[in-house]
């Protein structure tokens, strides 16, 4: 329930977040959302201060935080290209992915230590304080306001601009399709890692061994993200996506058949490396195709495909694991990744016409 409350809003509200990102000053919008997120984190601390906290209150607050993330994600994704020159975009996205994965490795370690010594309420207080750094960083940048609507589009058409762009631009459409299918069908192993560790590797999900296993995965993901802006900086990202999909399939297949913890630490690191090399390369290809007017709404589709499908994938994977095995589910994910490598032709085969509803010579009613 908490997982859905956290990630479900990414699927339900990201389109609204993308629309807001293209309508309002993105920096101010991010500051507002970050401030509300900090207040909600203090609310979590208040609820968690007792030994038996209200589950309804926890779910409600986490759901509200998820809605905030559904606005923050597309807005931040749309803001990033405005901070760097176009030729530095791949490096910027690489660093952004790296800091996200670095926080996923370091954050749980700090949170676990604080929780064990002081309790969960202090963890949420520290999280709330961390938003002050986010707000301070946002106050330190200045960006131009989003461009005005070139065609005076209103209502549902404005909300659906991302879909129009994805349908009209072959590269954008394929990039979004790849991330959607990859997240839904190849990545459920992330949510099922405790089951994988227990049934295949004999590792208790509450043990230090499991913590090390997850850390290896996070470090691999960190290195994969950094590689796109460093050792692979001069490589075509379209080709990197396809090669890394194949490598991901190979490493995931190896992880599926392993029955010994020793080599699993290395292999799961390689899975993480290929995984985030794919994500960072795909994101770079997508961002380089977008104009600033519709960027927020297309990035909303990216957030929906990348994050919003996670709970759905886990819901699908759970019964499949019980009916077959975790090995079968991982091998199926590897096969899907190979198929996606064949589909992920992200080369530009010609100029993409501007969608009719975005042209300035087109009236809002299509006349």
Residue-wise pLDDT tens digits, 227-279:
998 899 899 999 999 999 999 999 999 999 999 999 999 999 999 999 999 99
Rounded CA gap, 286 and 169, in Å? Answer: 10
Rounded CA gap, 256 and 230, in Å? Answer: 30
Query: What are 186-210's pLDDT values in tens digits?
Result: 999 988 999 999 999 999 987 889 8
Between the alpha carbon of residue 73 and those of residues 79, 261, 348, the distances in Å are: 10, 36, 27
Place of tokens 């990201």: 14
311 in Cβ contact with 66 (< 8 Å): no
21 in Cβ contact with 29 (< 8 Å): yes
183 in Cβ contact with 310 (< 8 Å): yes
Q: How far separated are the first and last CA of the chain, in Å rounded? A: 47
Quote the pLDDT of residue 360: 43
CATH class of this structure's domain 2-141+155-343: mainly alpha
Which long-range contacts does 48-54 make (Cβ < 8 Å, 24+ apart)? Answer: 48/119, 48/120, 48/121, 48/124, 49/119, 49/121
What is the CB neighbour count within 10 angstroms for residue 340? 24
Nearest CA among 175, 167, 177 for reference residue 352: 167
Query: Domain residues of the chain, as ranges?
Result: 2-141+155-343
Rounded CA gap, 14 and 301, in Å? Answer: 7
Mean pLDDT of the chain: 86
User: If pLDDT is split at 50, 70 and 90, which confidence band does 361 have?
Assistant: very low
């Amino acid at each position: 329930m908490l997982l859905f409350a956290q990630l479900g809003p990414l699927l339900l509200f990201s389109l609204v977040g993308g629309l807001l990102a293209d309508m309002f000053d993105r920096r101010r919008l991010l500051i507002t959302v970050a401030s509300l997120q900090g207040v909600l984190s203090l609310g979590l601390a208040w609820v968690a201060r007792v030994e038996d906290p209200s589950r309804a209150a926890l779910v409600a607050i986490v759901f509200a935080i998820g809605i905030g993330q559904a606005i923050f994600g597309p807005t931040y994704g749309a803001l990033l290209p405005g901070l760097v020159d176009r030729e530095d975009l791949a490096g910027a996205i690489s660093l952004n992915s790296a800091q996200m994965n670095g926080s996923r490795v370091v954050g749980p370690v700090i949170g676990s230590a604080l929780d064990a010594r002081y309790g969960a309420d202090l963890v949420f207080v520290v999280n709330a304080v961390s938003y002050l750094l986010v707000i301070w960083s946002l106050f330190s940048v200045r960006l131009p306001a989003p461009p005005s609507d070139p065609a005076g589009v209103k209502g549902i058409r404005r909300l659906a601009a991302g879909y129009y762009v994805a349908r009209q631009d072959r590269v954008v459409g394929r990039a979004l399709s790849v991330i959607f299918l990859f997240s839904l069908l190849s990545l459920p192993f992330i949510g099922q890692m405790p089951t994988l560790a227990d049934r295949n590797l004999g590792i208790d999900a509450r043990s230090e061994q499991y913590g090390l296993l997850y850390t290896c995965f996070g470090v691999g993901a960190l290195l994969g993200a950094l590689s796109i802006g460093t050792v692979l900086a001069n490589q075509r990202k379209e080709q990197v996506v396809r090669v890394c999909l194949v490598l991901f399939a190979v490493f995931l297949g190896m992880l599926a058949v392993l029955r010994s913890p020793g080599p699993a630490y290395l292999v799961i690191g390689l899975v993480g490396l290929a995984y985030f090399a794919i994500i960072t390369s795909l994101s770079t290809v997508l961002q380089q195709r977008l104009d600033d007017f519709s960027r927020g709404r297309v990035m909303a589709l990216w957030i929906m495909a990348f994050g919003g499908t996670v709970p759905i994938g886990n819901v699908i994977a759970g019964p499949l694991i019980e009916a077959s095995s975790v090995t079968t589910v991982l091998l199926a994910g590897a096969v899907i990744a190979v198929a996606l490598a064949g589909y992920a032709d992200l080369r530009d085969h010609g100029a993409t016409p501007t969608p009719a509803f975005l042209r300035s010579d087109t009236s809002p009613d299509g006349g």
